[in-house]
Amino acid sequence: MGNYKKIYDNWQKYPKTFWKEQSENIDWEKNPGKILDDDNKPFYKWYPDGSLNTCFNAVDRHVISGRGEQNAILYDSPVTNTKKKITYSELKYQVSIFAGALKKLGVLKGDRVIIYMPMIPEALVAMLACSRLGAIHSVVFGGFASNELAVRIDDCKPKIIVSASCGHEPNRIVEYKPLLDNAIKIASHQVERCIIYQREGLNVELISGQDIDWNEVVKDVSLADPVEVQANDPLYILYTSGTTGKPKGVVRDNGGHAVSLKWSMKNIYNVEPGDVYWAASDIGWVVGHSYIVYAPLLHGCTTILFEGKPVGTPDSGTFWRIISEYKVKVLFTAPTALRAVKRDDPNGKFIKKFDLTSLQSLFLAGERADPDTVLWLERKLNIPIIDHWWQTETGWPVAANPLGIESLPIKIGSPTLAMPGYDVRVLSEDGNEVPKGTLGAISIKLPLPPGSLPSLWNADERFIESYLSTFEGFYETGDAGYQDEDGYLYIMSRTDDVINVAGHRLSTGAMEETLSNHVDVAECAVVGVSDDLKGQVPLGLICLNKGCNKTHEDVCKEVVDLVRNEIGPVAAFKSVAVVSALPKTRSGKILRATIRKIADKVEWEMPATVDNPQVFKEIEEALKPLGY
């Protein structure tokens, strides 16, 4: 029996013993006596009587154990031509100072702090400072616009927002301050203070009484010590897209998060304390939370903080330059990033220029890893290319090839097998397991492991309704797929309105809500269509109100601007066509799947229950000028 199977079987037989043993790799203030509290199903609590501080485990602990002079963060920003190295000792100092500043402003355990920042070291300092105080951070991705920020302000009600003067996109400077000010104006909740980090090159004017300069706020404050929190106290809230326009506030608690992430670093990624680990993502996403910030630091690794793009900053050799310059052992990124690299440099000219001998493996997640890209990478890099699958909700990989346990045979197109902690089943609509090889709803038997979401922020009912109500005793992932005879998983598509654009999870429902708010739009549908680079991109169809006398071109431009301004540029909503009606079933349901097939130019059949079959011809014609 292979090592993986031994460990997985052992976890299945003795889950509490397994998670008790893993908890011993974390420093607790009070060791957990009880491992799992399942008295209040379907709400489970891991390590209910344990207490700890996550920041202590991610930072102080390594200084105490002699890693003080090791780099904790290597910041590399080709967009600003800046590089910085921050050792664990320096990080401890910076985090303690900033935590002191937050404390002086009245931030206490349990208070929320929104962090709306670009990929700069201060963003990580702010996150860790919150966790030092037991305050709950909620990071909002910089590519979201004011309205999305306002929705999050109203949902989590932060005392403080930490932001910066600007972010740098390759083609423009993103000024955060007007977006922030507008969000504060839209939101009903009153934020007490905003701390603004003024970046070189853009000093913004601060609003007296509302804003404080980062450099002012850290003056003359006392260093703050880590605050003891219960294992089940929230560490952060991360909003993610669901079916409706209202994002879901995924809660992560402290204890299970620290234990599971620490376990994953050795067992899945096969890295040791001291190794250099790089997740090329953004702190606004779960990959950034788990694998830029918390997991590498909890494990005593050096993490890379990269502010740039895989191509164009300055070229498609950037990833390889960073790997060779910092001796990166493991790279984790989204397939879309490497598709961009492959498109620019198909022969791997840049790959040959750099010494990549430090790179042991490359992990992909965030979207389906397309075989073309995986094969290209295998040929060019000659190392294991590992697809692994997870979501914001789970916080760490559900299925992977656990290189630290055993290098399992790779099957291209599959993220391999379920990790200990996850009992994954593929279910039919009636909740029965489907035979191997049959498509179904991918679900996880409860309880979810430590580190996965205990609930949604202030929305226990929504948590149950969104994830636990379809299949009794199971968490519904929202992904459809199948398992082969060897148990390998294949993730094929979403079962809801979530689409995946360049590895970013977005809701077509939210885009439809935005389009519907346009005065001239009577009805609309947004679907995710295939895109060679980004995996999927949104495509909108709109029907206009009677009496609208604008040109179709003008309305389309207006709705594209509306989505950009309300949701953000990250939605990449650029294609929209006007049609006289949307295809619907007799009961009025919009036939989105058929629209998608038409745009993707795959074979489609006229649905039996369609009410207005003539509209399909019109849609085909309307999509032609958009390149579909």
The residue ranges that bind ligand COA (CB under 6 A) are 142-143, 167, 169, 174, 280-282, 285, 287, 309-311, 333-334, 336-337, 340, 365-366, 502-504, 533, 569-570, 572
582 Cβ neighbours under 8 A, 6+ residues apart: 523, 524, 525, 541, 543, 590, 591, 615
**Closest approach of Cβ 240 to ligand COA, in Å?**
12
Cα separation values, 537 from 498, 499, 527, 575, 602, Å: 11, 8, 8, 9, 16
368 near ligand AMP, rule: CB under 6 A:
yes
Which one of ligand COA, ligand AMP, none is in contact with 391 (Cβ closer than 5 to 8 A by kind)? ligand AMP
Residues 109 and 137: beta-carbon distance below 8 Å: no
For 116, which DSSP code? E
- Between residues 265 and 365, which has the closer beta carbon with respect to ligand AMP? 365
199 near ligand AMP, rule: CB under 6 A:
no
Inter-axis angle of helices 371-381 and 335-344, nearest 10: 70
**Closest approach of Cβ 245 to ligand AMP, in Å?**
17
**Closest approach of Cβ 468 to ligand COA, in Å?**
26
- Between residues 90 and 282, which has the closer beta carbon with respect to ligand COA? 282
478 near ligand AMP, rule: CB under 6 A:
yes
Inter-axis angle of helices 121-133 and 88-104, nearest 10: 60
Tell me the number of residues near ligand AMP by CB under 6 A.
21
Question: Phi and psi at residue 343, in whole multiples of 5°?
Answer: -65, -40
The binding track of 236-255 with respect to ligand AMP, each residue x by CB under 6 A or -, is ----x---------------
What does DSSP say about strands 43-46 and 36-40: parallel, antiparallel, or unpaired?
antiparallel
75 near ligand AMP, rule: CB under 6 A:
no
Q: Which of 99, 365, 405, 426 binds ligand AMP (CB under 6 A)?
A: 365
Give kind and range of the element (H or E) at residue 342: helix 335-344
- As a whole number of angstroms, the distance between CA 314 and CA 573 comes to 26
- Between residues 122 and 282, which has the closer beta carbon with respect to ligand AMP? 282
Give the number of other Cβ atoms within 10 Å of residue 326's Cβ: 18
Closest CA to 577 of 543, 606, 602: 543
- Between residues 61 and 168, which has the closer beta carbon with respect to ligand COA? 168
Which one of ligand AMP, ligand COA, none is in contact with 500 (Cβ closer than 5 to 8 A by kind)? ligand AMP
Name the segment binding ligand AMP (CB under 6 A); options: 53-61, 383-391, 529-537, 573-581: 383-391
Closest CA to 500 of 364, 406, 371: 364
Which one of ligand AMP, ligand COA, none is in contact with 167 (Cβ closer than 5 to 8 A by kind)? ligand COA
Which one of ligand COA, ligand AMP, none is in contact with 502 (Cβ closer than 5 to 8 A by kind)? ligand COA
Q: What does the chain come to in residues?
A: 628
Partner residues linked to 213 by β-bridges: 196
**Closest approach of Cβ 54 to ligand AMP, in Å?**
21
Cα separation values, 475 from 262, 321, 422, 492, Å: 23, 41, 10, 18
501 near ligand AMP, rule: CB under 6 A:
no
For 194, which DSSP code? E
9 Cβ neighbours under 8 A, 6+ residues apart: 1
286 near ligand AMP, rule: CB under 6 A:
yes
Which one of ligand AMP, ligand COA, none is in contact with 392 (Cβ closer than 5 to 8 A by kind)? ligand AMP
For 290, which DSSP code? I
- Between residues 365 and 578, which has the closer beta carbon with respect to ligand AMP? 365
Which one of ligand COA, ligand AMP, none is in contact with 174 (Cβ closer than 5 to 8 A by kind)? ligand COA
Give the number of other Cβ atoms within 10 Å of residue 182's Cβ: 16
Give residues in contact with ligand AMP (CB under 6 A): 240, 285-286, 365-369, 387-389, 391-392, 415, 477-479, 491, 494, 500, 505
